Amino acid sequence: MRFSLGALAAVLPLAAALPQITRSGKYLYDPSGTRFYIKGVAYQPQGNLAVSTEANEANGGFPEPSDFVDPLSSSTNCTRDIPHLKDLGVNAVRVYSVNASLNHDDCMKALDDAGIYVLLDVSLPLNGSIDRSSPSWTTNLLNEYTRTINVFNKYPNILAYNIGNEVINTVNNSNAAPFVKAAARDTKAYLNSINSKALVGYAAVDTDLEFRNALADYLTCGNESVSVDLYGLNNYEWCGAATYSNSGWNVITEGFRNLTVAAYMSEFGCIKEGPRQWTEVPAMLSAPVADVFSGGIAFSYFPTSDNYGMVTFSGDGSTVNVNSDFTALGRQYSNTSGPNSPAQSAQSNSVLACPPTSPILAASTELPPTPNEEVCKCINDNALGCKAIPATANNPIKVGALINQACGLLSQSNSTVSCTTIAGDGQTGQYGPLAMCSPDIKLNYVMSAYYDANPVATSCDFGGNATLSTSPLSAGAAQEAAASCLAGKPPIFTPTASDPPTSNTASPSSPATSSGKPSSAARVGAVLPTSSVATLVLGALGFVAGAAAVLA
Ligand SMILES: *[C@@H]1O[C@H](CO)[C@@H](O)[C@H](O)[C@H]1NC(C)=O
Ligand SMILES: *[C@@H]1O[C@H](CO)[C@@H](O)[C@H](O)[C@H]1NC(C)=O
Ligand SMILES: *[C@@H]1O[C@H](CO)[C@@H](O)[C@H](O)[C@H]1NC(C)=O
Ligand SMILES: *[C@@H]1O[C@H](CO)[C@@H](O)[C@H](O)[C@H]1NC(C)=O
Ligand SMILES: *[C@@H]1O[C@H](CO)[C@@H](O)[C@H](O)[C@H]1NC(C)=O
Ligand SMILES: *[C@@H]1O[C@H](CO)[C@@H](O)[C@H](O)[C@H]1NC(C)=O
Ligand SMILES: *[C@@H]1O[C@H](CO)[C@@H](O)[C@H](O)[C@H]1NC(C)=O
Ligand SMILES: *[C@@H]1O[C@H](CO)[C@@H](O)[C@H](O)[C@H]1NC(C)=O
Ligand SMILES: *[C@@H]1O[C@H](CO)[C@@H](O)[C@H](O)[C@H]1NC(C)=O
């Protein structure tokens, strides 16, 4: 008789899964209380660079990748690479982009078997990240993050989820910081709700001293429910045979000393001075750097166009050739282990107080609300009469350009509403009621508001990109529907222009899906507007005519 593979797996003892690494105060520990240091390498093939937009350039933008290969989706490639990752002596890899639709079981299991944790960035290139030139934190991004988390939650070797990489890269776009912190807050709440103990991280670009420290303080300060708990710094200051005091690492270490959470070098490995000897590794894994940092991620396993790679592939891509940087890093990692101090029992989580306003960052301490998809969908379904047509391969709807066009028309119209309803300002901490909605719904809102101010068919055309519902809502009906949605009471009626509803007979106290389960937005701790908030917000939403009458 022959065993099936499944039956074999059931009788053979399973290899032990890697234990959860937790944070106590500023440090990471394994379950035995031994201090844990990240000895890692970046594991992401380089993507193609996107064409940078003018807005992004004006905001200190670096060229960003436009596409990616999911390195945890190919069992063949992981099998090819893992022996080399073991040779390097790493206990962690940082992966920047994965596709939640693909299967990651084989790679995650093989890494776990090899004693390798994964630090996973949950943002994606282009529209999958917070856009520094026009920052927002919206339902579609939160959904993307939770979708990836749902796929990876089952793997024991997930160490942390990074909610952003170098989003803020100059004081000029530090107004993106409240959105990044809101992403950390909502990701933490979501992880809590599914009993995940994975850490929530951010990877910052290295910048001048004051800005670097101010941003680290901003993202890690305050209540634990909102602070990033693993703060990464992408740092390339230690070049060649530098030392602690002439590399700048002394200044960095002192600048981060007051952080109350764990820090690590989320990228390191300067290539300016010849083949790398990685003398920063023993420095990183000993005091005084180890008093503040818990290791780092060497950049990069895969080749990059600017020569940060440590391997190349030959033949049909199945042969790995390592270079001298690889060999030197392997020697350093294998020869170094960080001090097992201070003891976990001596640690307690404390809170770094947030200054009321930062003298350096243009970032409000007022964070945007948790994106609430239920409310956005409800408004879109019940209150908006003019909507963008679905994108097709032949006509990819350019949402951003259409929003700009519609906002321009709206501002020149007689409408009493404006695009502030869909805008969020991270500098002043003012967030419009629909700033949390997806770009698609924001566009529908602006086009509908324009139509309401000029209710003739040609107002809902937008070069053939929009259509009017067969029974467009009257301004009053639209306003009432929006009010119901914002009050957490999705209307059960289907309003029409000829028969506007006068009352809402449904009164669930909280939004519920038809199955009765809380929506995903509710699960991540969305705070639904109370009716007084809804009233306040209505002014901003206010679908023109009759606003006062309906509210009275
Ligand atoms: C993710 O994988 C699916 C299935 O192969 C594919 O259809 C989709 O385009 C991929 N998404 C991205 C962003 O690569
Ligand atoms: C980004 O855009 C693609 C198609 O243009 C869409 O499928 C995807 O859902 C968008 N991602 C997010 C997070 O909105
Ligand atoms: C910030 O913006 C100002 C005004 O637009 C510009 O002069 C300055 O160069 C920008 N600074 C950086 C670091 O991008
Ligand atoms: C921290 O946030 C949690 C959740 O929002 C809240 O219950 C708690 O009271 C807050 N703690 C402090 C000290 O503000
Ligand atoms: C750290 O905290 C001490 C005591 O409050 C303060 O004097 C010092 O300036 C802080 N250092 C930094 C870099 O914030
Ligand atoms: C696997 O490796 C081959 C050869 O290097 C590469 O072309 C391919 O993109 C990789 N696929 C994935 C999913 O990593
Ligand atoms: C290993 O580490 C020790 C102590 O840090 C050092 O003296 C020695 O030179 C290192 N060996 C190699 C091969 O790097
Ligand atoms: C605004 O209202 C005035 C007076 O009712 C009207 O003459 C004008 O055409 C309107 N303008 C627009 C852009 O709708
Ligand atoms: C859709 O809008 C874009 C941008 O405004 C425009 O270039 C395009 O022509 C419109 N599409 C159609 C089918 O008219």
- Is the pLDDT at 248 greater than 70? The verdict is yes
Distance CA 302, CA 71 (A): 10
- Spell out the alpha helix ranges (H) of 159-257: 177-193, 209-220, 244-247, 249-255
- Is the pLDDT at 2 greater than 80? The verdict is no
Cα 51 to the chain's mean position, in Å? 21
Nearest atom in ligand 4 to the alpha carbon of residue 223 is: 1
Interval between CA 258 and ligand 5 midpoint (Å): 6
Nearest CA to ligand 8 atom 2: 414
Q: Tell if the pTM clears 0.85, that is, is over it.
A: yes
| Among candidate residues 534, 550, 520, 551, the one with its CA nearest the CA of residue 379 | 534
Q: Is the CB of 401 under 6 A from ligand 9?
A: yes
- Is the pLDDT at 91 greater than 90? The verdict is yes
Cβ-based neighbour number of residue 312 at 10 Å: 12
- Is 166 a known active-site residue? yes
Which tokens sit at 30? Answer: 């394994």
Task: Give the length of the chain.
Answer: 552
Distance CA 127, CA 110 (A): 31
Q: Residue 74 has what pLDDT?
A: 98
Interval between CA 396 and ligand 9 midpoint (Å): 9
Q: Residue 10 has what pLDDT?
A: 42
Q: Residue 493 has what pLDDT?
A: 43
Q: Is the CB of 454 under 6 A from ligand 8?
A: yes
Instruction: Give the Cα-Cα-Cα angle 284, 32, 285 (nearest 5 degrees).
Output: 5
Nearest CA to ligand 7 atom 1: 335
Q: Is the CB of 60 under 6 A from ligand 3?
A: yes
pLDDT one-digit tens code per residue, 324-354:
999 999 999 999 999 999 999 999 999 999 9
The region of weakest confidence among 27-41, 231-245, 316-330, 473-487 is 473-487
Which tokens sit at 258? Answer: 């007051």
Confirm if 118 and 159 have CB atoms less than 8 A apart. Answer: yes
Interval between CA 145 and ligand 4 midpoint (Å): 23
Q: Is the CB of 413 under 6 A from ligand 8?
A: yes
To which H or E segment does residue 159 belong?
strand 158-165
Nearest atom in ligand 3 to the alpha carbon of residue 172 is: 1
Which tokens sit at 177? Answer: 């910081």
Nearest CA to ligand 7 atom 8: 335
DSSP state of 191: H
Distance CA 331, CA 476 (A): 72
Confirm if 227 and 220 have CB atoms less than 8 A apart. Answer: yes
Interval between CA 158 and ligand 2 midpoint (Å): 25
Res. 521 pLDDT band, cuts 50 70 90: very low
Instruction: Please pick, among 144, 267, 374, 480, the residue that the annotation labels catalytic.
Output: 267
Q: Residue 533 has what pLDDT?
A: 30
Ligand at shortest distance from the CA of 70:
6
The region of weakest confidence among 6-20, 249-263, 336-350 is 6-20
- Is the pLDDT at 358 greater than 70? The verdict is yes
Amino acid identity, position 405:
Q
Distance CA 349, CA 351 (A): 7
pLDDT one-digit tens code per residue, 286-324:
999 999 999 999 999 999 999 999 999 999 999 999 999
- Is the pLDDT at 13 greater than 50? The verdict is no
- Is the pLDDT at 61 greater than 70? The verdict is no
**High-pLDDT (> 90) share of the chain, %:** 74
- Ligand 7: residues with CB < 6 A are 282, 331, 335
Ligand at shortest distance from the CA of 133:
3
- Structural domains of the chain sorted by starting position, each given as residue range(s) with its CATH number in brackets: 24-364+504-519 (3.20.20.80), 373-490+530-548 (1.20.58.1040)
Instruction: Please pick, among 166, 280, 374, 480, the residue that the annotation labels catalytic.
Output: 166
Res. 395 pLDDT band, cuts 50 70 90: confident
Nearest CA to ligand 9 atom 8: 463
Nearest atom in ligand 3 to the alpha carbon of residue 170 is: 13
| Among candidate residues 488, 481, 390, the one with its CA nearest the CA of residue 443 | 390
Task: Round the average pLDDT of the chain to a whole number and report it.
Answer: 86
Rg of the chain in Å (alpha carbons)? 26
Distance CA 40, CA 296 (A): 6
Q: Residue 65 has what pLDDT?
A: 77
Q: What is the 3-state secondary structure (H, E, C) of 373-429?
A: HHHHHHHHHHHCCEEECCCCCCCCCCHHHHHHHHHHHHHHCCCCCCHHHCCEECCCC
Q: Residue 59 has what pLDDT?
A: 64
Task: Give residue for tokens 């993050």.
Answer: 145
Ligand at shortest distance from the CA of 464:
9
The pairing of beta strand 22-24 with beta strand 27-29: antiparallel
Which tokens sit at 292? Answer: 């503040």
- Is the pLDDT at 503 greater than 60? The verdict is no
Interval between CA 416 and ligand 8 midpoint (Å): 12
Q: Residue 62 has what pLDDT?
A: 65
- Is the pLDDT at 502 greater than 50? The verdict is no
pLDDT one-digit tens code per residue, 164-197:
999 999 999 999 999 999 999 999 999 999 999 9
Q: How far is CA 482 from CA 363, 394, 411, 546, in A?
A: 30, 33, 21, 14
When pLDDT is averaged across residues 387-409 and rounded to a whole number, the result is 91
Instruction: Give the Cα-Cα-Cα angle 213, 217, 221 (nearest 5 degrees).
Output: 175
Confirm if 489 and 504 have CB atoms less than 8 A apart. Answer: yes
Which is more confidently placed, 476 or 423?
423
User: Residue 322, SS3?
Assistant: strand
User: Residue 19, SS3?
Assistant: coil
Instruction: Give the Cα-Cα-Cα angle 344, 345, 346 (nearest 5 degrees).
Output: 90
Q: Is the CB of 465 under 6 A from ligand 9?
A: yes
Residues 6+ apart with CB under 8 A from 148: 98, 100, 120, 122, 161
Nearest atom in ligand 5 to the alpha carbon of residue 255 is: 13
Task: Give residue for tokens 């009432």.
Answer: 480
Ligand at shortest distance from the CA of 130:
2
Residues 6+ apart with CB under 8 A from 528: 372, 375, 488, 510, 511, 522
Which tokens sit at 429? Answer: 């901490």
- Is 210 a known active-site residue? no
Nearest CA to ligand 9 atom 10: 463
- Spell out the alpha helix ranges (H) of 16-104: 54-58, 75-88
The region of weakest confidence among 170-179, 432-441, 456-465, 467-476 is 467-476
To which H or E segment does residue 533 belong?
helix 531-541
pLDDT one-digit tens code per residue, 529-546:
333 333 333 333 433 322
- Ligand 5: residues with CB < 6 A are 213, 255, 258
Pocket test for ligand 8, best of 409, 413, 414, 458 (most atoms within 8 A of CB): 414
Confirm if 475 and 452 have CB atoms less than 8 A apart. Answer: yes
Q: Residue 476 has what pLDDT?
A: 84
Q: Residue 129 has what pLDDT?
A: 95
Nearest atom in ligand 2 to the alpha carbon of residue 126 is: 1
Confirm if 422 and 449 have CB atoms less than 8 A apart. Answer: no
Cβ-based neighbour number of residue 179 at 10 Å: 26
Q: Is the CB of 463 under 6 A from ligand 9?
A: yes
* Torsion angle of C-alpha atoms 119, 122, 124, 127, degrees rounded to 10: -150
